Amino acid sequence: MTHSALSPEPVVRIDDGGIWSDLESASRSDAGEVRALLAKSRELKGLRGRDLAVLANVTDPALLDELFHTAREVKEAIYGRRIVLFAPLYISNLCANECTYCAFRARNTALVRRALTQEEISREVKWLEEQGHKRILLVAGESYPREGFDYVLRSIETVYATSSGPGEIRRVNVNVAPLTDGEFRRLKEAKIGTYQLFQETYHRETYAEVHVAGKKRDYDWRVTAMDRAMRAGIDDVGIGILFGLFDWRYELLALMQHVEHLERTFGVGPHTISVPRIEPATGSEVADHPPHAVSEVDFRKVIAILRLAVPYTGLILSTRESAETRREVLGLGISQISAGSRTNPGGYEADPGDACAEQFSLGDHRSLDEVIRDVASLGFVPSFCTACYRLGRTGADFMDVAKPGEIKEHCNPNALATFQEYLLDYGSAETRRAGESRIAATLEEMEPALREKSRKMVEAVKSGRRDVFC
């Protein structure tokens, strides 16, 4: 029996005709309509359908500047100037799928295959902890060693059980293949944070062209994964597009239809949206020459529009992008970034330079310390906060405080406390100087009551307490 035969009737329907109609209609919009939409977005209620198409068609430099400025305003209204940091932990590059854009594809004989043992995972985790990381994204190719899905669950347990000095991983987010309802329930029991999965492309014809073998060929099984995850009790899910496979404007509107489906069905949209662009990958002609490459200007538009469209969601930027690009787009709505990343199993502790085991090429090779210093110097507050997960501020409860912009009253103090913790335990002298200056400036900018609350939390960390949060 094929996997498709096991799939439920598709419940996430992408209206292709509506998307193309919106894009065609939006091509006739004018500056007045654009400015009206920007004003509407400042109400923090989001945008939909044709609204996104109108903004996607903006090319006038003055209007682009207004778009980017508005995105900054909306991001800061919701989250303040904090930027959450994490690292991916690749535990395996075994895969049964044939995705033409990915180095992990099953028929790629140029890739060195590896699934880490639990002892190797523990060593990877210790290395990450010794850099200062507190949250990781656990990633595996869509195939597992002999024990099957239990391998993922054992690996999560290993991560949580591993510590090094003052270091600990306080929350594990997970990016693995779509699961059954029962498997998702087991994943929930493993105390994960967010379950993350990308559709890659919402365009069915393109999806079929680039996914030529394996379970991943089943479009509907993949696109309904978030329904199964949320039915199983996983409150926070993360979605995304691999930009470059198809027209980014279509993908943007289709992704928003997926967002609307989740909101209608569960009352909660995605906790995060990721915006990866295709990067070169060993053994992939498609990755080396993306069929719909996204320019730097259009990439900035993608980020800004998503921030206006889904103001409450976390927007994630990976180390696929160069340090220069990351600096340029950081203020346009991004709220989470990876740092000091490796995309090959064992890449941290033992084998940092094995390009023949990587999923894709990295654009930003800086260490966590360098990234943190840069983020602070740009006026943002690096954060290692995991408080919401542990206090139950997930799903609808998170949205209740995020949508009106109240979440920053928690985010900003927690960011400062965890940043101070990093500076004391792991920061270089140069980063400590930059960080202390950023903390002082941020405290000064706060409202008096929030300033006092944050100051007390920072002082508690300085006095020796750790994992201080509200």
- CATH number of the domain bearing residue 260: 3.20.20.70
pLDDT of the residue at 351: 55
227 and 172 in one domain?
Answer: yes
Beta bridge partners of 88: 137
- Which residue matches tokens 């993350």? 196
Host H or E run for residue 195: strand 194-196
435 and 360 in one domain?
Answer: no
Per-residue confidence in pLDDT tens, the chain, 470 aa = 344 444 455 589 999 999 999 999 999 999 999 999 999 999 999 999 999 999 999 999 999 999 999 999 999 999 999 999 999 999 999 999 999 999 899 999 988 899 999 999 999 999 999 999 999 999 999 999 989 999 999 999 999 999 999 999 999 999 999 999 999 999 999 999 999 999 999 999 999 999 999 999 999 999 999 999 999 999 999 999 999 999 999 999 999 999 999 999 999 999 999 999 998 777 778 878 899 999 999 999 999 999 999 999 999 999 889 999 999 999 999 999 999 999 899 999 875 545 555 665 567 889 999 999 999 999 999 999 988 888 888 777 787 777 777 888 888 999 999 999 999 999 999 999 999 999 999 999 999 999 999 999 999 999 999 999 89
- 218-223 long-range contacts (CB < 8 A, ≥24 apart) are 218/3, 218/4, 218/7, 220/4, 220/7, 220/8, 220/10, 220/12, 221/3, 221/4, 221/6, 221/7, 221/178, 222/178, 222/197, 223/10, 223/12, 223/199, 223/258
- Could you tell me which of 204, 193, 280, 279 has the C-alpha nearest to residue 229? 193
Q: Is residue 21 part of a domain?
A: no
Cα–Cα distance for residue pair 184/186, rounded to 1 Å: 5
- Could you tell me which of 237, 12, 212, 197 has the C-alpha nearest to residue 102? 212
Cα–Cα distance for residue pair 131/153, rounded to 1 Å: 25
Structure tokens at 195: 């379950």
How, if at all, do strands 98-99 and 211-213 pair?
antiparallel
Q: Is residue 63 part of a domain?
A: no
Q: Is residue 38 part of a domain?
A: no
End-to-end Cα, the chain, rounded Å? 50
359 and 255 in one domain?
Answer: yes
438 and 295 in one domain?
Answer: no
Cα–Cα distance for residue pair 143/82, rounded to 1 Å: 36
Q: Is residue 335 part of a domain?
A: yes
Cα–Cα distance for residue pair 360/99, rounded to 1 Å: 13
pLDDT of the residue at 289: 85
| Last residue within a domain, chosen from 333, 365, 397 | 365
Q: Is residue 46 part of a domain?
A: no
- Could you tell me which of 362, 461, 379, 366 has the C-alpha nearest to residue 421? 461
115 and 253 in one domain?
Answer: yes
pLDDT of the residue at 382: 97
Cβ distance 344 to 90 under 8 Å? yes
353 and 282 in one domain?
Answer: yes
| Last residue within a domain, chosen from 365, 400, 422 | 365
394 and 354 in one domain?
Answer: no
Cα–Cα distance for residue pair 194/270, rounded to 1 Å: 10
Number of Cβ atoms within 10 Å of the Cβ of 25: 13
310 and 179 in one domain?
Answer: yes
Structure tokens at 198: 């990308």
Cβ-based neighbours of 115, under 8 Å, separated by 6 or more: 91, 92, 93, 94, 144, 145, 151, 345
How, if at all, do strands 336-338 and 314-317 pair?
parallel
pLDDT of the residue at 4: 43
Rounded to the nearest 5°, which phi and psi values hold at 90? -85, 120
Domain containing 400 equals 388-462
Cβ-based neighbours of 444, under 8 Å, separated by 6 or more: 451
Number of Cβ atoms within 10 Å of the Cβ of 43: 9
Q: Bin 251: left if φ > 0, else alpha if -120 < ψ < 50, else beta.
A: alpha
206 and 314 in one domain?
Answer: yes
Q: Is residue 52 part of a domain?
A: no
Q: Is residue 60 part of a domain?
A: no
350 and 405 in one domain?
Answer: no
- Could you tell me which of 409, 346, 384 has the C-alpha nearest to residue 93? 346
422 and 334 in one domain?
Answer: no
Q: Is residue 112 part of a domain?
A: yes
317 and 189 in one domain?
Answer: yes
Give the chain's domain count: 2
